[in-house]
Amino acid sequence: MYGMSIPRIVIVGGGFGGVYTARHLKPIVEKGIAEVTIINRDNYFLFTPLLHEVATGALSSHSVVEPIREILRGSNVHFVQAEVKGIDADKKLVKTSSGPIAYDYLVVSSGATTNYYGVPGAEKYSLTLKDLSDAINIRTALIKACEKAAMTTDIEERRRLLSVLIVGGGATGVELAAELIEFMRDTLCSYYHHACFDSGDMTVTLVASSPDLLPVFPQEMRAIALEELKKRGVDVRLGVNVIEVANHEVRTGKPAVIAPAAPGSPVPHITQTAVIESVILAQTIIWVAGVAATQWDIPGAERERGNRIKIDELLRVVGRPEIFALGDASGTYPMLAQVASQQAKIVARNITAVIESKPEHMKPFSFKQKGLLASLGKWYAVGSIHGVTLKGPFMWWLWRTIYLFNFHSWRKRFRIAAEWTVDLFYPRDISSM
Ligand SMILES: Cc1cc2nc3c(=O)[nH]c(=O)nc-3n(C[C@H](O)[C@H](O)[C@H](O)COP(=O)(O)OP(=O)(O)OC[C@H]3O[C@@H](n4cnc5c(N)ncnc54)[C@H](O)[C@@H]3O)c2cc1C
């Protein structure tokens, strides 16, 4: 074997797609027939479905992350903590903040970033919920707003400071709204009662451009989510377009319509100017209205809506058979952790088949929906399992149990279970980091 090199598989992204692919590739690493390197910006895997619980203090930030080195311990998979800057597909190099890394097969699982859809001021004036620092920022902003509100005797100003506006009616917006209203009215209110806060001072408004909440969920789940949020006191406004965000202010109305540039003209022209119909004031604005795939130019690769990489049924990048893409970075399937983790198995299988020169072992991907779940605050969740919609405390317990068992280590599972138990009996911590 001396002098012979083995194929190098490089995985970009250590989230659901990347980490699960690396785990499924363990057998060929152990056989010594391939070398696997995973590159991620942070040294941990982030369990995004519980981020809203960090934002509202139900879980500590350490609980929703697991070190990638710990997940891959004993597997001989290499880990590189670096920022990926680009891909030179012709030279087969990944350009990173720690220098270039060569590959023979590349797996792109770099996820997605918040999509602001070009709405002016949205990125500058709102918080979002995509990674751990976002969750910490939301919690800090809420606690800071409470401290400011405690210093004022002006009731109107206090109410303004204690107002939160969420833009986006998908699962993240809905789960966050339900948790936030509870956190603000139960936890924060109890800590600041001496400052005359009452739960009526605290408002959570959710605006969504779609006519329904949870637009990709079954109709029955949508109706339950809407009813439950309203019951909990969230001001839900549907069919509302946010056209501009300013400092503590959101303007809604009809967006500008911009036509593509006419032949011979370099500038697109505005066929209809934006019309502001209403202004909503809020101290804390959180934008969770959509995501777009993280982008680098991969020469020859085609892109779909949301900048997602076009893939074939074997999960190879169309036009680049040595590059595989999965999860939120790739197109066709819903942007869900369960899609990314199912695709990881197929990517690992197909790369193994190529390396072992057994192309007949390659398998096309087909997504098997295992169910849909959304938590709606403490003791309540709604879910659809095998087409049956269920709601209530049992669903909430099931939702938590399923997520708990999605963590890789027992250490983390015990830690989360302990934090959830403490949360049932004691008020949440409001230390501002
Ligand atoms: C708040 C929230 C709640 C969610 N809840 C659910 C849920 O309940 N159920 C569900 O199924 N799905 C849920 N999702 C969606 C789910 O998180 C994604 O579909 C899933 O994470 C996609 O996996 P992925 O591997 O494609 O991307 P990710 O898991 O996002 O992983 C991408 C990784 O790539 C890294 N990366 C990106 N760019 C670079 C770079 N330039 N250099 C180095 N590293 C980079 C990132 O740091 C990240 O670690 C939720 C998402 C969010 C944001």
The pLDDT tens digits for 312-333 are 999 999 888 999 999 999 988 9
pLDDT > 60? residue 164: yes
Q: Which long-range contacts (CB under 8 A, 24 or more apart) does 363-366 make?
A: 363/314, 364/313, 364/314, 365/313, 365/314, 365/315
- Shortest-distance Cα residue to atom 8 of ligand 1: 49
- pTM comes to 0.91
Ligand 1 centre and the CA of 66: distance in Å? Answer: 14
Does residue 84 have its Cβ closer than 6 Å to ligand 1? yes
Do domains 8-114+292-361 and 122-289 share one topology? The answer is: yes
The per-residue pLDDT for range 177-190, each reduced to its tens digit, is: 999 999 998 888 88
Please give the pLDDT value at position 247: 95
pLDDT top residue among 74 and 64: 64
Which is the closest atom of ligand 1 to the Cα of 338?
11
Residue 414 pLDDT:
94
Residue closest via CA to ligand 1's atom 3 equals 49
Least confident span in 15-29, 121-135, 258-272: 258-272
Residue 365 pLDDT exceeds 70:
yes
Q: Which residues contact 254 (CB under 8 A, 6 or more apart)?
A: 241, 243, 272, 274, 275, 277
Counting from 1 in the atom list of ligand 1, the atom nearest the Cα of 326 is 26
Does domain 8-114+292-361 bear CATH number 3.50.50.60?
yes
Question: What pLDDT, in 10s, does the model give residues 195-220?
Answer: 777 778 899 999 999 999 999 889 99
Ligand 1 centroid–CA 102 distance in Å is 24
Query: Which position has the token pair 């066929």?
Result: 271
290 CA distance to ligand 1 centroid (A)? 13
Note the pLDDT of residue 1. Answer: 42
CATH class of the domain whose range is 122-289: alpha beta
Average confidence (pLDDT) over 18-23: 97
d(CA 238, CA 227): 13
The residue to mutate among 10, 40, 287, 339, having the most atoms of ligand 1 within 8 angstroms of its beta carbon, is 40
Q: Where along the chain do its domains lie?
A: 8-114+292-361, 122-289, 371-424
Model confidence over 249-306: pLDDT tens digits? 999 998 777 666 666 665 656 667 778 889 999 999 999 998 888 777 787 788 888 8
Sign, Cα dihedral of 141, 143, 380, 399? positive
Q: Tell me what pLDDT residue 268 has.
A: 58
Ligand 1 atom closest to residue 374's alpha carbon, by position in its atom list: 8
Cα(146)–Cα(163) distance, integer angstroms? 10
137 lines ligand 1 (CB under 6 A): no
- What percent of the chain clears pLDDT 70, i.e. is strictly above it? 95
Report the chain's mean pLDDT, rounded to a whole number. 91
Give the least confident one: 15-24, 256-265, 417-426.
256-265
